[in-house]
Amino acid sequence: MNSERVRIEIYDTTLRDGSQAEGISYSVADKIRIAKRLDEFGMDFIEGGWPGSNPKDEEFFEQMKTVTLKHARLAAFGSTRRANIKCEDDAQIRKLIEAEVPVVTIVGKSWDAHVVHALRTTLEENILMISDSVKYLKEHVSEVLYDAEHFFDAYKTGVQSGGENYAIATIRAAIKGGADRIILCDTNGGTLPDEIVLILREVKALFPQTPLGIHTHNDSECAVANALAAVREGATQVQGTVNGYGERCGNCNLLSIIPNLLLKMGYECLLQDSLAHLTGLSQYVDEIANLSPDTRRAFVGKSAFAHKGGLHTDAVMKGASYEHITPALVGNSRRVLVSELAGGSSIATKADEFGLSMDRKSPQARALLQAITEREHQGYSYEGAEGSFELLMMQSVGNYRELFTLKGFRCIVEKRNGGEEAITEATVKIEVDGEERLTVAEGDGPVHAIDGALRKALIEFYPELATIRLTDFKVRVVNTQEGTAAKVRVIINSADGEQDWSTVGVSTNMIEASWLALTDALAYGLLRGSAK
């Protein structure tokens, strides 16, 4: 534990490096929204993009001139001047200055092979490109950070220039130009923590007065470990992205770095209450990026503090530790999962969570455990369908009320001559309090059509049904060895504006499995609404 509570700067590059991840394409409005949220969260630096590379980033920096950040310093990213040209004549250097930001991060080549083959210039000219660019930018910008690209790979090759390692020579050039910080980059993501430690130690010994930062990629699944190791060796800035977004395998995940620094290593970073908003930030950026959250992310994932085994759950509820930190510290929460591995304590805990009363040793608890075991053997899974599980629990304690009785349903899919798309029609017959209703609806597929017909039949009895909407639909084959005769498991996600829930249905018939999940979804929404 670090007794001095050294402060580590957090430099976020979600909007630049993170946008290079496969499947991500931010609009300018998206980038501005994320930038504002990162500022509210307390990031020290927000790298907005590369204004000399594309019109979108240029527009972002232009619009950000009217946005006042409360805490973060906005940084523009760019490269050193081109070979054999003056800085004032380099168009992309001018773009960095025209962005009117307080910080510019300039990237330069550390690896001789890249200088010769990518830049197609000499090692000597590259040294001048680095020092000239940093010096010129320092005349126009408050802070200049130098990103030493491929530094660790370059250092390990040991090519000599003027009596020293060429990678070191490039750093010396940036320091000569007046760089405020030197950022050592593991651009290929192939360096291991023990190498990081040794190289950082040597660089720090050569430049003891120069603030160092670390920028790691995750190609060897070591980005976070490498960054933490660098901090131990004196790096005072960590660069990375929210949720570890980035090209290939991603960048260093700042949402793992931050709690490790604060809770486990004794360093200071960000604002006093930033940590409590960690999970919210993760979910927010996922939503803007239109990506499904990784439930197994450390600290912020939905499964990060989820307990499934009965012995584990029992121990956690009694105060024993199966969690490395308290979930609330990072804005997350404990979840108890119910499956065939659950015990009486898991059942009792879930009942309490749902506002129901059930003793873990009661006949109802034992019967419910038996029912779960049998249903999971059939292909059900309640870990991701807590709406269906709560309905099952309500039935076991006698709190369940039958909202309607199915008399029958039919679904027809017809492909007509000349039609580009198939037409789906569903007929549903139900009974509510002795009254029967028969309705028909068309839809974009069987589930949509059945949902429409069922809503038509129920809406006059339950007007609040209008607030409930389906948000997602997933199908998974349970026993693939059976081929087309296999069972399928359908998960339906629903929401009513105040809460969201998931329900499950299993059958060898996909439409019937969908019906089971759908009726649970509507019943759960209506019963929970009436309970409130």
pLDDT of res. 340 = 42
C-alpha radius of gyration, the chain, whole number: 29
Q: Quote the pLDDT of residue 483.
A: 60
Other residues' Cβ atoms within 10 Å of the Cβ of residue 208: 8
Among 254, 271, 288, which residue terminates a domain? Answer: 271
Q: How would you write 65-115 as a 3-class SS string? A: CCCCCCCCEEEEEEECCCCCCCHHHCHHHHHHHHCCCCEEEEEEECCHHHH
Hey, what are 202's tokens?
A: 């040597």
Which residue, of 204, 236, 271, is where some domain finishes? Answer: 271
Residue 452 domain-assigned (yes or no): yes
Residue 310 counted as domain residue: no
Same domain, 264 and 411: no
pLDDT(2) > 50: no
8 A C-beta contact, residue 490 and residue 511: no
The pLDDT value recorded for residue 237 is 98
Statement: the pTM of the whole predicted model exceeds 0.85: no
Q: Residues 15-65: pLDDT tens digits? A: 999 999 999 999 999 999 999 999 999 999 999 999 988 999 999 999 999
Q: What is the pLDDT of residue 275?
A: 95
Q: What percent of the chain has pLDDT over 90?
A: 61
Higher pLDDT, 465 or 334: 465
Position 281 scores a pLDDT of 95
Decide which of 224, 240, 271 is a domain's last residue: 271
Mean pLDDT of 71-80: 97
Q: Assign residue 176 the CATH number of its domain.
A: 3.20.20.70
Assign residue 490 the CATH number of its domain: 3.30.160.270
Residue 55, in any domain of the structure = yes
* Count of the separate structural domains present in the chain: 2
If phi over 0 gives left and psi between -120 and 50 gives alpha, with beta otherwise, what is residue 398?
A: left
Question: pLDDT by residue (tens digit) across 84-143?
Answer: 999 999 999 999 999 999 999 999 999 998 999 989 999 999 999 999 999 999 999 999
Residue 429 belongs to a domain = yes
Q: Are the C-beta atoms of 78 and 107 separated by less than 8 Å? A: yes
Q: What is the mean pLDDT of residues 441-468?
A: 91
Q: Which domain holds residue 410?
A: 405-531
CA 417 from chain centre, in angstroms, equals 46
Model confidence at 3, pLDDT cuts 50, 70, 90, reads very low
